[in-house]
A and B are shown apart, each in its own frame.
Chain A
Amino acid sequence: MSLIKEFTKGFVKENPVFIMALGLCPTLAVSSSVQNAIGMGFAATFVLIFSNIIISLIKGFIPSKIRIPAYIVVIASFVTIVDMVMHAFLPPLHKSLGLFIPLIVVNCIILGRAEAFASKNNVLKSFVDGLGMGLGFTLALVVIATIREILGAGQFFGINVLPKSYIEKPMLVAILAPGAFLIMGLLMGLMNIAKKKK
């Protein structure tokens, strides 16, 4: 596959969230605001890119039997790096994302790409794959967050976009847990319809 195709496949055709249903936990949890969605998306993309690169580099040295624990150590290290850097330089974002920053390590997308791609391809391709998948993940998060934040708080990125009367009594369920599931279900249904039409 050409390098461009490797990059763009993560956006729609093989979107990790909507098509492959990976990385659901953080998706539903941080998509209550666009700011959190972007923060998490970039953090996860960072981890994904560098894990892919490192794993692709050392794939020759890792015996197959211990490859999963080895991948986990690499991924966990980058997650810890993101955690430390965010805590020091972006404390409010670190507080909002909370528990879900260390949970990036069990984001099935990252381990999934390590196993399915980075362990079998060269560094450049792995980098591009990581970038594409990461951005696709971020895109999915932002789409969901936009819907939830506008419906649930009348805001986008903290800025009021709906009339004051709506903001006083918004559709609160959208930013609460049930809303996340319901909106996700509807979006996935829409995706299926879109896939069929092609």
Chain B
Amino acid sequence: MKYYIKLGLILLLITSVASGILALLNNKTQPIIEENQRKEAEQARKEVLPEATVFEEVTTPDFSYYIGKNADNQIVGYTFVASKFGYSSEVKTMVGVNPDLTIKKIKIISQSETPGLGANCMKPDFAPKFEGLKLEKLKVDKDGGDIKSITGATITTRTVTNSIKEALEKLMNILPKNNIFEEKSAEEVSR
């Protein structure tokens, strides 16, 4: 019995030393990792909503998004992340919408779909397909919409399209509730 306790203690000692070292390293690397992620997200937001100089985060239990405002404190649009599981991975897309809720620009920020097929969604000819579209037009051609599927990658195309559609619907439901429409958008002010 005493033998087994000794074995257990030695193993515990090794594990404790290891855990201690890892904890120290974790303290050093965690902040760097979080900062990287923050910067990446900020950069993606800027890309899909270039006129915005400042982003305000709005978090609700179901959905979070950012309000983009320009230097004159006018709303130039909104950004949110649409996420859905595709063929072999979670596909995350940063979406920028105009104040009238048409798509301004999208950027796929993370995916591990099949190389040569679904992964072609990262090619420069894919994202522009979504620009200027309203909610009703967000459908893959096979589902009766305007978005032409990538050859051999209907699943990935459908995933991106539907994820944006669902997220946009959530945004449309939340906006009136947050009385955002009371603030004048940049377009309205210039009229």
| A74 contacts chain B at the CB level, 8 A cutoff | yes
| A120 contacts chain B at the CB level, 8 A cutoff | no
| A32 contacts chain B at the CB level, 8 A cutoff | yes
| B7 contacts chain A at the CB level, 8 A cutoff | yes
Residue among B6, B14, B21, B115 facing the most chain A CB atoms (10 A cut-off): B14
| A66 contacts chain B at the CB level, 8 A cutoff | yes
| A80 contacts chain B at the CB level, 8 A cutoff | yes
Interface size, chain B (Cβ < 8 Å): 22
In the complex, which of the residues B14, B26, B36, B115 contacts A91, with contact meaning CB atoms closer than 8 Å? Answer: B36
| B29 contacts chain A at the CB level, 8 A cutoff | yes
Task: Write out the residue numbers on chain B whose beta carbons fall within 8 Å of the beta carbon of A69.
Answer: 11
| B41 contacts chain A at the CB level, 8 A cutoff | no
A66 and B32 within 8 A (CB): no
Segment with Cβ contacts to B, from A127-135, A139-147, A169-177: A169-177
Task: Write out the residue numbers on chain A whose beta carbons fall within 8 Å of the beta carbon of B122.
Answer: none
In the bound complex, CA of A153 to CA of B26 (Å): 37
In the complex, which of the residues B15, B22, B36 contacts A88, with contact meaning CB atoms closer than 8 Å? Answer: B36
Task: Write out the residue numbers on chain B whose beta carbons fall within 8 Å of the beta carbon of A163.
Answer: none
In the bound complex, CA of A148 to CA of B22 (Å): 36
Task: Write out the residue numbers on chain B whose beta carbons fall within 8 Å of the beta carbon of A58.
Answer: 14
In the bound complex, CA of A70 to CA of B15 (Å): 8
A66 and B22 within 8 A (CB): no
Task: Write out the residue numbers on chain A whose beta carbons fall within 8 Å of the beta carbon of B6.
Answer: 63
In the bound complex, CA of A76 to CA of B115 (Å): 30
In the bound complex, CA of A91 to CA of B35 (Å): 12
Task: Write out the residue numbers on chain B whose beta carbons fall within 8 Å of the beta carbon of A81.
Answer: 21-22, 25
Task: Write out the residue numbers on chain B whose beta carbons fall within 8 Å of the beta carbon of A80.
Answer: 22
B 88-130 contacts with A by CB, 8 A: 110, 112, 114-117
In the bound complex, CA of A88 to CA of B26 (Å): 10
| B10 contacts chain A at the CB level, 8 A cutoff | yes
Cβ distance B33 to chain A, nearest Cβ, rounded Å:
5
Q: Mark A61-105, 1 if CB is under 8 A from B, else 0.
A: 111011001100110110011001101110100010010000000
For A85, the closest partner residue in chain B by CB is: B29
In the bound complex, CA of A198 to CA of B40 (Å): 54
Task: Write out the residue numbers on chain A whose beta carbons fall within 8 Å of the beta carbon of B26.
Answer: 84
Cross-chain pairs A/B with CB under 8 angstroms, 22 sampled: A61-B10, A66-B11, A73-B15, A73-B18, A77-B18, A77-B21, A77-B22, A80-B22, A81-B21, A81-B25, A84-B22, A84-B26, A84-B29, A85-B29, A88-B32, A88-B36, A91-B33, A91-B36, A98-B112, A175-B116, A176-B115, A176-B116
Sort A-B residue pairs by CB-CB distance and give the 8 closest, nearest first: A77-B18, A88-B32, A88-B29, A84-B29, A172-B116, A66-B7, A88-B33, A175-B115
Interface residues of B (CB under 8 A from A): 6-7, 10-11, 14-15, 18, 21-22, 25-26, 29, 32-33, 36, 40, 110, 112, 114-117
